Chains A and B, each alone.
Chain A
Amino acid sequence: MDNEQVAYDYDDFIQKTGDYDFEDDEPLATDLIDHEGYDEEQLLQQQQLFQRQLQLQQQQAAAQLPDAVRNFILYFHHCLKENNVYDLHGCYENSFNRLTEKFYKNTPWPDPHGVVAPLVNNDQPFVTLYTELYYRHLYAKLQPNLEDRFASYDNYCIWFNYIFDSSSPAEMELPTNWAWDIIDEFIYQFNSFALYRSRIVRKSHNEEEIQQLREHPQTWSTYTVLNVLYSFIQKSRMNEQLEAIKEGRDPDEVAGEDGSRSLYKTFGYFSIIGLLRVHTLLGDFTLALKTMEGIDLSKKSKYARVAGAQFTTYYYVGFCYMMMRRYSDAIKAFSHILLYISRTKGFHNRSAQYDSVTKRSEQMYALLAICVALCPTRLDDSIHTTLREKNGEQLARMQRGGEESLPVFEELFSFSCPKFMSHGPPDYDNPANNVDPLQHHLKVFMMDVKKTMLVPTLRSYLKLYSTMNIEKLATFLEMDPEELRSALVVFKQKSRQVRWTEGSLLDGEVVNVSDLDISLEGDLINISEAKIGRKFGDWFLRNTAKYYAVQDTILNKNPDKQEEKEHKDKRRERREKNAEKKGNK
């Protein structure tokens, strides 16, 4: 049996942040039904024939199942039955990925119902969980067709019904990150379905699929998804629990019977982050942040260990702030998580989800560039350096302002925004009415940007003077003095932003976020520039550290590197040991 002792490390685990690129333009495998001579009986016969063929195939597949896979499934099942969270984590985190690499890189895992269910005596909870993994793998590595999408949805319904049903075994536990993955994947597939559906309608080639979509308006509907997420939150009484934690009380006092169970707790908590995401995808940025009311980002929670949940949270929170024109809060959110990613980079490198973390962080640098262009802000030094490396040229163009800057804003926004979706099914009858939601949100966002186009120019002039006459500046800028007066008020308004100080994410106070301040006295502009004192202490400390590093290089010893190397060696040893054990079995 594949019961190796798996040493695992939470930080090692980076999980997909729900942003795969999918280009499933492949013809879909639903052409089994002959739509020319369409007749019920014939259809039934064909289906039966198809079923028989399928069974046969499945039996064959079961016989061909590699031993390692068969053993893994049995052991996996065993761990779930025994409620052994530690080993389940190993199965989920390591073995599954390893076997995927070995056997299922480009093909689906064994069929859940035909092959796996008979192996485990049709144990429903396990089969459902396995099916979830099966489809997740299919979505990630292959191209799901409409049938897969429907089937995966049905499976989620079965699974959620199972855990919402209070007669289910109360002791079931899942590793925390697995719970996050389920919520994350559920929303990802919901999002993906909406995009797939609108693509089919836009291209309007596949009448048959359109028909199927028309017949199943409830599948992957927003209401269903919201319902699941809200149900988890209510069942676990998560908001009440978070409230209690804030007040320093024991959350279990208010959790009730269900809410005390770790399974509900984790699902409840992650559902809040799920809602943040769903609301953002639908363009409701205020409600998205309101949903996060109970969560205090400034405090570490035990769920913070799930890195994927962290990335998702900060990405969406930052994005919502940006859309609410609270750029300084957005900058804070992005900087925080990007710093975290860069600090833990070493771990991510080896992770299977490395690519998606990289992409997500590139998106966040792009968003950061937008925010910094709209609200000049001093960034953390290391973030600033990376931003200049990645988006330096674009940032400079945006900071110059004017018409030429607009395409850069558009490009960066389209690259880094969430995959916006419409709420309901598209207009099947008038495909032309279906405007891509991305274009809509981009347009509205660009309206805001356009209104600030003059700000950088004004800034560059104002910086040079301590007082100036409106007439004179108007001559420089070749604009009407009265329009300039308005532009100066806009300039002043833009320097005032709501910024979070305490309380829920939506709260905040209006503060000055600019280093350049003006006031008008009739036609005279008074300008004051607040010179923010450099943080000399930080600077000296950083350079002291650099100096030590140089010293060490000269002396050819580098204690930090050495530590890192030791750490790496240890990890390699551990991995090799595991591999050896596995080989022995």
Chain B
Amino acid sequence: MPSSALTPSSRPPEIEEILTTLSRYNPETTTVLQEYVATQCATGSYDLMANLALLKLYQFNPELMRDETVLNVLAKSLTVFPQPDFTLALHLLPPSLLHQYSTASAPSSTIPLPPKADTDDQLSNSVHRLTYLNSLLELEAFPAFWRILSSDVDEEYADLVADVTGFEDAIRKGISKGLILSMRSFKIETALSWWNFTNREAVEQWVEKEMPEWVIEGDNIVRKDDGDATAAATSTLQPVPGKIKFEQFSRVIRRVYENELLHH
């Protein structure tokens, strides 16, 4: 990960102090880190290393674990998909939480159905739900993602991310990144359903604000700088030039030398 993600500029010095010293093992720092998670939720900042440090403290001191904070950490890490942050957090949770988790796909679809979230353990149920949301995001199955999130049948999905200010826009930004990476143009229709906007104006505003390299042309959103639209995808891969080090010839040279000796 880029070093900026490892040490976000928004990290206060006291958190930096905890993360770089042995205080990261001190149960007393739990409260500081918990508050920091709350700050991240409120301000939209994000600090993976600090959150993992907190989960580790919970791992070491299960009696200190606060369900709400664990869920907030997970919800926050959804906002940076498709980075593996959510998975990294899951690895640090108690194994019993995910023990029952399983999903099945609907027939003739690649998108999994919601997991059964009806174990006795409330935290475990919530973790199942967030894990499911993460799967939808990583499968780029956005229409399904928004449908689940706004579901009237299971309102808990929406509750789970309610603490994260700007959750929806953060997700939209993530979606936009994927679009910017893979598209040269896409339909407004796609934008509406992926970003979960109800009207064209919202899409226009979003493109203007978040995608400066793009313009709306008729029913399409098109990359501005793309003069040569017929060319194949831009590729950053270059053929490997055939560099050979001199030392690699040592054997050949030795051989020639030996043959010379042999013949004279």
Do the beta carbons of B60 and A423 come within 8 Å of each other?
yes
Do the beta carbons of A493 and B178 come within 8 Å of each other?
yes
Do the beta carbons of B87 and A541 come within 8 Å of each other?
no
Do the beta carbons of A424 and B62 come within 8 Å of each other?
yes
- Taken together as a complex, chains A and B put the C-alpha atoms of A443 and B95 apart, in Å, by 10
482-513 of chain A: CB within 8 A of chain B: 482-483, 485-490, 492-493, 496, 498, 503, 506-512
* Minimal beta-carbon separation of B214 from chain A (angstroms): 13
507-531 of chain A: CB within 8 A of chain B: 507-512, 514-515, 517-522, 526-528, 530-531
- Taken together as a complex, chains A and B put the C-alpha atoms of A492 and B182 apart, in Å, by 6
Mark interface residues in A394-423 (1 if CB within 8 Å of B CB, else 0). 000000000000000000000000000011
Mark interface residues in B145-173 (1 if CB within 8 Å of A CB, else 0). 00000000000000000000000000000
Check: A283 CB closer than 8 A to any chain B CB: yes
Do the beta carbons of A286 and B233 come within 8 Å of each other?
no
269-284 of chain A: CB within 8 A of chain B: 282-284
- Checking A486, A508, A522, A537 against B186 with a beta-carbon cut-off of 8 angstroms, the contacting residue is A522
Nearest chain A residue, comparing its CB with the CB of B1: A498
Do the beta carbons of A440 and B99 come within 8 Å of each other?
yes
Do the beta carbons of B99 and A444 come within 8 Å of each other?
no
Check: B135 CB closer than 8 A to any chain A CB: yes
Chain B residues, Cβ within 8 Å of A440: 91, 95, 98-99
- Checking B1, B84, B101 against A448 with a beta-carbon cut-off of 8 angstroms, the contacting residue is B84
Chain A residues, Cβ within 8 Å of B258: 559
How many chain B residues have a CB neighbour from A under 8 Å? 71
Known: A223-B25, A483-B111. A517 touches B60 (CB 8 A): no
* Minimal beta-carbon separation of B175 from chain A (angstroms): 9
Check: A10 CB closer than 8 A to any chain B CB: no
Chain A residues, Cβ within 8 Å of B135: 447, 451
* Minimal beta-carbon separation of A417 from chain B (angstroms): 12
Among B29-37, B69-77, B204-212, B247-255, the one that faces the other chain is B247-255
Do the beta carbons of A323 and B108 come within 8 Å of each other?
no
Do the beta carbons of A286 and B88 come within 8 Å of each other?
yes
Mark interface residues in A438-459 (1 if CB within 8 Å of B CB, else 0). 0111011001100100100000
Q: List 14 A-B contacts (CB under 8 A).
A: A223-B25, A323-B88, A324-B88, A423-B59, A439-B95, A443-B98, A447-B135, A451-B135, A489-B140, A492-B178, A526-B233, A537-B242, A541-B249, A541-B251
Footprint of B on A, CB under 8 Å? 222-223, 226, 230, 282-287, 290, 323-325, 422-424, 433-437, 439-441, 443-444, 447-448, 451, 454, 466-467, 478-480, 482-483, 485-490, 492-493, 496, 498, 503, 506-512, 514-515, 517-522, 526-528, 530-533, 535-538, 541, 544-545, 548, 559
Footprint of A on B, CB under 8 Å? 1-3, 6, 22, 25, 48-49, 52-53, 56, 59-60, 62, 82, 84, 87-88, 90-92, 95-96, 98-99, 101, 108-111, 131, 135, 138-143, 178-179, 181-187, 190, 193, 220, 229, 231-244, 248-249, 251-252, 255, 258
